[in-house]
Chain A
Amino acid sequence: MERILFGDNQFFAVNHISDEKSRAQAIKFKNDSAILKTLDYAMDAGINTFMCTTHDRISNICDFIREHPQQYSNFSIYPCMPYAHKYANAVTELGVVGTLKEYVPGNFFGSLFKGGMAYLSKDYLSIMELLIDAEMKMFKGIKTPVIFLQNVITDLLLGLGMTDVLKAFHNYVIKKYNAEPGFITMNLPRLLTVLNEAGIQNPIICASINKAGFRMSGGKKTYEELLHTKKVRVVAMQVLAGGAISAKEALEYVCSLPNIESILFGASSQGNIQETVSLIHQYDQGITSRKAG
């Protein structure tokens, strides 16, 4: 994975600290051209990986990328699935079973329902595979070397103790997409323990890591200890803690930690993108030269 990954929250009005800013972002990125322009800024700053949720609008971005192969020859996308609010809102409206009926493609689900027989483990896992395929459709022909499971699903399965489903996601991503599976979580220490117990070694895990300790369940100390002692490929997200701490302070902290393979951030303006990238490089070099010295 590249050191810096570009995120998509700003494009889809995801702002953890302000509804007003969310709306401003929704207005700013109303047109796909605004998203593409911001991706250009990220590429200009040397970032070639876009980590994004499987939001409907991403399929338009994918169309553009496919139509301009030369421009995006070095470009990769790390899909994060599913776009959870789509399902969450559907569950409120249609219920759990109704939502599955709505979103599982083909006749598979209908035929299961008519049977009235006991559901087998493989039936559920087949449903999961169909849902993954449905979410992956938009990325056809685009490099997706890492595919992530969104935190709401990872953490739901983690809390329910459904480790076999996490493992099934892991195996299916490798088998079907020849990609590396990743897990987004707000509960890094617990998830790593569970994945290791399930035989998944050195997994890719994307988690909140920031100086403020925001959304680091179990505490910042536990995270720091884990980063120093465990084998895991971490993508640090929410490094700015939703904007609660200054960019300098935030990035200096995250760059000083071991075992963080990548840093994920999103920004709307060219200035912010450039500033963040150069700060990460600056702190990375500082650490390298200190080590060398």
Chain B
Amino acid sequence: MVNVALIGAGKMGISHLAILGAHPDVQVTGVSDTSKMVVDAFRKFSKFPCYTDYEKMLDEAPADAVFVAVPTKYHAVMVKKVLEKGKHVFAEKPLCLTVGEGQELVELAASKKLVNQVGYHNKFVGTFRELKRIVDSGDLGEIFHFAGEAYGPVVTRPKQGNWRADPSEGGGCLMDYASHVIDLINYTLGPITAVKGAVLKPLYSKNVEDSVSALLELSSKVTGILLVNWSDITYRKMSTSVTIQGSKGKIICDANELKVYFNTEETPAGYTRGWNVKYVTDLTEQVDFYLRGEEYSAQIDYFIKAIQKKVPNTINNFQSAWQTDKVISLIKNNTTL
């Protein structure tokens, strides 16, 4: 049994808690949140021990691992405290507000030899896993160009909300939405090392950008575009996609479906020349407990298995999330709001 505590019972925290609560190898030993209303609800209706002070929880609750799902601004200090207590950490994305803070966490986790993971859940989506497999197979030939996109209806009116509307706390579409796409490109195609141009634009928000457009270059010198907009009301929920064109084929992939065209007979097993379409239904592994998407359970399962030493701590570790933070910083420095 792995004892797990959680800091921050907001949108992602509550979702993680439900999955942890149903996990056969997990015992939830503490939940902390600063909202009295949220903590009181957990006290009344759940069996989880509750705290309003996370430091008290870290001292008192027996935990092998801690989930940190608080606004990004607090990641640096809270994750550091958790690591210093010798506990494994699952942190929400993005890792930190600055590259310097992130580096400190990467180094600390490595020196303490603790399992560390960040919630970039797309890597656990069946279609994106298959995308990575096809790219790695080399069957797309020489990569010419890529496009990473994400759209969704988060800010669709001129109204200021919570911390996500405050740039100093990690708000904005770049940190929240674009980070997912950047992370997916880093993972699938190799690290983004240069930003050739970027525009961050508020649409409805006053203090943060609602859209991001950027021209990116990989270490391999391949270039592509990033187009992200969280003020697009034509989407029901966040939709992320990656398009890659190579000399031997082209692939268009989102969380539901993967469409790939091969120009030649050299294809991976299960594919043929011309268009191939695979659905997430064909590519998804069963999970023991489902909430909002298999990927949310799969990423937690992977983290727990890494603690149990059943899988390596390679997917979504702090190091890879820090690479994403670096690209976020490159985009920010390329532009002014």
Q: Is B10 an interface residue (CB 8 A)?
A: yes
A217 at the interface (CB under 8 A from B): yes
The A interface, classified by DSSP as helix, strand, loop or mixed, is helix
Contacts A26-B234, A165-B45, A215-B290; A15 near B11 (Cβ below 8 A): no
B219 CB-CB contact with A under 8 Å: no
Number of interface residues of A (CB under 8 A): 54
A162 at interface (Cβ–Cβ under 8 A)? yes
Q: Please name all residues of chain B whose beta carbon is closer than 8 Å to the beta carbon of A291 when the two chains form the complex.
A: none
Contact present for A15 and B15 (CB under 8 Å): no
Q: How far, in whole Å, are A159 and B21 apart by their CA atoms in the complex?
A: 5
- By a CB distance below 8 angstroms, the chain A residues around B99 are none
**Chain B, 5-30, CB within 8 A of any chain A CB:** 10-11, 14-15, 17-22
Q: A243-272 toward B: CB 8 Å interface, digit per residue (1/0)?
A: 110000000000000000000000000000
Taking a contact as CB atoms under 8 Å apart, the answer to whether B161 and A95 are in contact is yes
Chain B binding surface SS class: mixed
* CB of A158 closer than 8 Å to a CB of B: yes
> Does A94 contact B161, Cβ atoms closer than 8 Å?
yes
Are A92 and B290 in touch, CB under 8 angstroms?
Answer: no
- Residues of A near B1 (CB, < 8 A) are none
Q: Is residue A68 contacting chain B, with contact meaning CB distance below 8 A?
A: no
Of the 9-residue stretches A42-50, A70-78, A118-126, A136-144, which lies at the interface with chain B? A118-126
**Given contacts A17-B279, A124-B45, A98 and B19 within 8 Å (CB-CB):** no
Which residues of chain B (276-324) have a CB below 8 Å from chain A? 279-282, 284, 286-292
Cβ-defined partner of A160 (8 Å) among B17, B154, B161, B279:
B17
> Is the CB–CB distance between A15 and B44 below 8 Å?
no
User: A244 to chain B: which residues have CB within 8 Å?
Assistant: 279, 281-282
Q: Is there a chain A Cβ closer than 8 Å to B38's Cβ?
A: yes
| Residue of A20, A96, A155, A165 with highest tally of chain B CB at under 10 A | A96
Known: A95-B162, A161-B21. A119 touches B11 (CB 8 A): no
A213 surroundings in chain B (CB, below 8 A):
286
| B286 A217 Cβ-Cβ under 8 A | yes
- Chain B residues contacting A89 (CB-CB under 8 Å) are 152-154, 237
Contact B35 A97 (CB under 8 A): yes
The reply to whether the CB of A224 lies closer than 8 angstroms to some CB of chain B is no
Contact with B along A132-151 (1 / 0, CB 8 A): 00000000000000000000
Contact indicator B18/A241 (Cβ below 8 Å): no
Bound-state CA distance A95–B20 (Å) is 21
Q: Do residues A155 and B281 form an inter-chain contact, with CB atoms below 8 A? A: no
Q: Please measure, in the bound complex, the distance between the C-alpha atom of A88 and the C-alpha atom of B11, giving whole angstroms.
A: 8
Considering only residues 83-140 of chain A, those with a C-beta below 8 Å from chain B are 85, 88-89, 91-98, 118-121, 124
Give B253-267 as 1s and 0s: 1 = Cβ < 8 Å from A's Cβ atoms: 010110000000000
Within 8 Å CB of A14, what residues of B?
A: 236
Is the CB–CB distance between A214 and B46 below 8 Å? no
Within 8 A of A (CB), among B31-47: 35-38, 40-42, 44-47
B82 to chain A, nearest CB (A): 22
| A interface, CB within 8 angstroms of B | 12-20, 22-23, 26, 85, 88-89, 91-98, 118-121, 124, 152, 155-162, 164-165, 186-187, 190, 212-219, 241-244
11 contacts between A and B (CB under 8 A): A13-B236, A17-B257, A22-B236, A94-B161, A118-B36, A124-B44, A159-B20, A160-B45, A186-B290, A213-B286, A218-B289
